[in-house]
């Protein structure tokens, strides 16, 4: 299917083998879903590294952080009747859910937006404490004034929620704790106030009544959130029928706040779409794309750790040019360019 994305010819920009694991005995399984920001005139990615141990025949391994903060590997025979392992990303063992990998975040920078490298002065950011026992994932970065707000998925046996840190220099971080409790993820803070309020998009989920929808919330300080409103739902029979979630911070355009979001169907196939919110009152959704603006089509999007996935939570805007960085097949980091006016033209009331 033809989409609106102009993929970088250099894709994939980063593969798991390009980054060293956090410690010996563990392997980088996937490199994915980078937050993106400008700092010191460079493009930076805050990339998710999902680590685990290579699979051995007849058993499944999954890592957890123990009470002392070290990674422990649990190994279970595949024929164990207490094991449910039908998704590459999660397993259920003795009634408890575990991830097959544990994620942390790494900082990489680039002068040209294509070649990225790590700098030892900016070390990795790891899950801390019992609410991040299964790791931290999929960080969005919003720049407000000279502060950067990092919203990320905090995963533990207590659930999946949204954590917040702030920084000015990427070396010292203020820990703001869990700002949205389980089950919640995909939180993107608007980069400017509207009136005297901060706004964010987020994605609470319900297994019973309700679903995986995009919500809007407001806050006096970008830390404490209230007045939640459900603004974007899944659409039966369409590419975004099972789940939808916000990408990076909404983009201010003349016509409204433009948000790039991911949607998945029941077969867990992830595409990207867009919607537009009113500039003064973002709870009003003015328009939404019918067809996806990006569909997995390339080999590196169709097969990998979890195939048929394009997922973005970071971008750079320069005039009409939108450069998104995205996770492909839950394994690689890639880049693509869009024209903002072309996306706006596809929006339907």
The footprint of ligand MAN (CB under 6 A) covers 89-90, 99, 137, 153, 155, 160, 185
CA distances from 335 to 5, 7, 44, 236, 322 (A): 9, 6, 13, 30, 10
Q: Given the complex with ligand MAN, which of 106 and 338 has the nearer CB atom?
A: 106
Q: Residue 147 CB, nearest distance to ligand MAN (Å)?
A: 26
Best CA proximity match to 285, nearest among 262, 259, 306: 259
309 forms beta bridges with 270
Residue 83, classed as helix, strand or coil, is: strand
For the CB of residue 76, give the shortest distance to ligand MAN in the complex, in Å. 18
Q: Are 190 and 225 in contact (CB under 8 A)?
A: no
Rank residues 48 and 165 by Cβ distance to ligand MAN and give the closer one: 48
Residue nearest to ligand MAN (CB): 89
Please identify, using beta-carbon distances, which residue of 137 and 240 lies nearer to ligand MAN: 137
CB of 304 to ligand MAN, least distance (A): 12
State the minimum distance, in angstroms, from the CB of residue 87 to ligand MAN. 7
Output 55 or 147, the one with its CB closest to ligand MAN: 55
**Backbone dihedral region of 297: left (phi > 0), alpha (psi from -120 to 50 degrees) or beta?**
alpha
Can you say whether residue 302 is alpha, beta or left, with left for phi > 0 and alpha for psi between -120 and 50 degrees?
Answer: alpha
Count of alpha carbons within 13 Å of 238, Cβ hemisphere only? 16
Nearer to ligand MAN, 99 or 189 (CB): 99
The CA distance from 29 to 50, in Å, is: 6
Which residue's CB is nearer to ligand MAN, number 252 or number 268? 268
Question: CB of 152: closest distance to ligand MAN in angstroms?
Answer: 10
Residue with tokens 């609106």, as numbered in its chain? 4
DSSP label at 132?
A: G
Please say which residue, 187 or 340, places its beta carbon nearer to ligand MAN.
187
154 exposure class (CB count in 10 Å sphere: 0-12, 13-18, 19+)? buried
Report the nearest approach of ligand MAN to the CB of residue 207 (Å). 13
Q: Is 300 left (phi over 0), alpha (psi -120 to 50) or beta?
A: alpha
Q: How far is the CB of 246 from ligand MAN (least distance, A)?
A: 14
Q: Which is nearer to ligand MAN, 99 or 232 (CB)?
A: 99
| Distance of alpha carbon 230 from alpha carbon 212, whole angstroms | 10
Min CB(120)–ligand MAN separation in Å: 27
Distance CA 32, CA 138 (A): 8
Of 89 and 224, CB closest to ligand MAN? 89
Least Å from the CB of residue 284 to ligand MAN:
29
Question: Which CA distances in Å does 224 have to 6, 128, 181?
Answer: 38, 21, 12
Q: Is 132 buried (19+), middle (13-18) or exposed (0-12) by CB count in 10 A? A: buried
């Amino acid at each position: 299917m033809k989409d609106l994305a102009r993929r970088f010819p250099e894709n994939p920009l980063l593969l798991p083998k390009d980054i060293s694991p956090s410690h010996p005995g563990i392997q980088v399984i996937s490199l994915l879903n980078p937050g993106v920001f400008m700092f010191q005139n460079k493009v930076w990615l805050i990339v998710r590294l999902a680590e685990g141990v290579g699979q051995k025949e007849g058993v499944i391994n999954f890592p957890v952080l123990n009470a002392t903060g070290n990674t422990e590997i649990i190994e279970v025979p595949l024929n164990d009747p207490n094991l449910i392992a039908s998704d590459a990303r999660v397993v259920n063992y003795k009634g408890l859910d575990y991830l097959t990998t544990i994620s942390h975040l790494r900082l990489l920078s680039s002068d040209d937006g294509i070649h990225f490298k790590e700098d030892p002065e900016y070390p990795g950011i790891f899950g801390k404490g019992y609410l991040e026992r299964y790791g931290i994932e999929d960080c969005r970065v919003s720049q407000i004034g000279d502060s950067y707000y990092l919203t990320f998925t905090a995963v533990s046996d207590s659930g999946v929620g949204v954590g917040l840190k702030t920084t000015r220099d990427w070396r010292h971080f203020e820990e703001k704790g869990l700002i949205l409790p389980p089950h919640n993820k995909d939180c993107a803070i608007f980069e400017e106030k509207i009136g005297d309020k901060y706004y964010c998009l987020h994605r609470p989920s319900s297994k019973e009544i309700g679903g995986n929808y995009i919500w809007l919330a407001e806050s006096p300080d970008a830390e404490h959130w209230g007045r939640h409103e459900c603004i974007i739902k899944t659409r039966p029979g369409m590419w975004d029928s099972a789940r939808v979630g916000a990408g990076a911070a909404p983009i201010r355009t003349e016509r409204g706040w433009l948000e790039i979001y991911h949607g998945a169907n029941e077969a867990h196939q992830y595409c990207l779409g867009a919607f537009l919110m009113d500039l003064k009152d973002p709870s009003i959704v003015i328009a939404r794309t019918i067809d996806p603006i990006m569909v997995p089509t390339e080999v590196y999007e169709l097969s990998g750790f979890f195939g048929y996935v394009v997922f973005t939570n970071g971008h750079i805007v320069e005039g009409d040019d939108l450069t998104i960085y995205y996770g492909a097949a839950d394994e690689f980091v890639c880049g693509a360019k869009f024209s903002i006016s072309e996306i706006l033209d596809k929006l339907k009331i």
